[in-house]
Every structure is written in C-alpha cells, then in structure tokens.
Amino acid sequence: MNVDESYVNGHSHFVLLVGTFDNDPSITQGAVLGLWTEAALFPSIWITDSRVHWASVDNNSALHFIPFDNKEENFVIRFNPDTGLITTLEAMRFRDAGDQARKILWIPQNEEGKYIKGSKISSVGSATWMDQGKRWSVFTLEEVKYNVDVSTCIQQKGP
C-alpha cells in the first residue's frame, strides 16, 4: 500500500487508498508525530530546537516533549542499556480522521543490528498499533544524505 503523508508549514496532507485528508486535526497530529519520529535520522534537532525538552523516566527511558500547534505532544523513548541507541518510541497517536477518531498507542521501533554503513543509524524500523498487536509497517532505509537542498521538492505531493 502506498502512503503519501506530509506536514509542511503547519499543514498536513495524507493519501491512502480510502481517501485524501488535508488538515484534519487527527491526521495532522499523526503527521507531526511521524515527522519527529523520522528526526531520529538527524537527532541533533532533538536537542537544538528550543521548543523540545526531555524528562528522565528511568536509566533506559525518557519522555520527549515536542511542539505541536501551540501545545505539546510527547513520546516515551526507550534506549538499549548496552549501546545507548534508541530501541522504541511510544506515543498516543490518532490513526483515523474525523470527530470520532481516538488516540491509540503507536510504537515505532528500530531493528537492532541493522545499520546504515558507517553509522549507528538503524536501517530497518517498524511501526505497531498496540490494538492490532502486530507490525503495521516495516521501513527499510537504503541511503541517507545530509545537507541536501530540498526546497524545490518539499512542497510536492505524491511519490
């Protein structure tokens, strides 16, 4: 299934087989959480963005607070005690659009031992909706490029 999800300049856009959703509040919340999950690829944003803050939970986990629409959302981030690398993120995320949507525990996870060559960035990740109890999606990262000008393509929609 192809998914086209974006959050650009405070606006969300989400395309699935069942329809297209623009700026639905529930979908926007999910897009923001997805964006900050992907920020694990450039984690300096997690400590250089003044709107972000952290609170310790225990030796291997922390609460990570991120900005969203003049308020905050948060993740529980769990770390491998041996490597210090992120193993899972947990957040209450909307899966559906509309007034009847409800938040469900959403768990993105890094698959340990599979890294982008020359880095400690996990090359395989997955996402699970807790009410489904199994992986909803698996993501494979083949290449990472930093400091690339994306200004001409960031506003584009579609694959």
Q: What is the pLDDT of residues 124-135, one digit of tens each?
A: 999 999 999 999
User: What whole-number distance in Å separates Cα of residue 102 and Cα of residue 27?
Assistant: 11
Does the residue 30 lie in any domain?
no
Percentage of the chain beyond pLDDT 90 is 47
Tell whether 32 is covered by a domain: no
Residues 92 and 81: beta-carbon distance below 8 Å: no
Give me the number of domains the chain comprises: 1
| Nearest by Cα to 92 from 77, 105, 76 | 105
Per-residue pLDDT tens digits for 32-41: 999 999 888 8
pTM: 0.87
- What pLDDT is attached to residue 18? 76
Q: Quick check: 89 and 76 in contact, CB under 8 A?
A: yes
Residue 153 counted as domain residue:
no
Domain range enclosing 84: 44-140
Q: Is 28 helix (H, G, I), strand (E, B) or coil?
A: helix
Average pLDDT over residues 141-152: 86
| Any domain includes 75 | yes
CA 112, chain centre distance (Å): 17
**Element holding 34 (H helix, E strand):** helix 25-38
> Does 17 fall in a domain?
no
> What confidence tier does 74 reach under pLDDT thresholds 50, 70, 90?
very high
- Residues ≥6 apart with Cβ < 8 Å to 52: 45, 46, 64, 65, 66, 67
| Inside any domain, residue 4 | no
Length of the chain in terms of residues written: 159
Assigned domain for 19 exists: no
Quick one: pLDDT at residue 159? 54
pLDDT band of residue 56 (cuts 50, 70, 90) is: very high
Is the confidence at residue 15, as pLDDT, over 90? no
Contact 5, 31 (CB under 8 A): yes
Give Cβ neighbours of residue 110 (< 8 Å, ≥ 6 apart).
Answer: 40, 85, 86, 87, 88, 122, 124, 125
In a domain, 9, yes or no: no
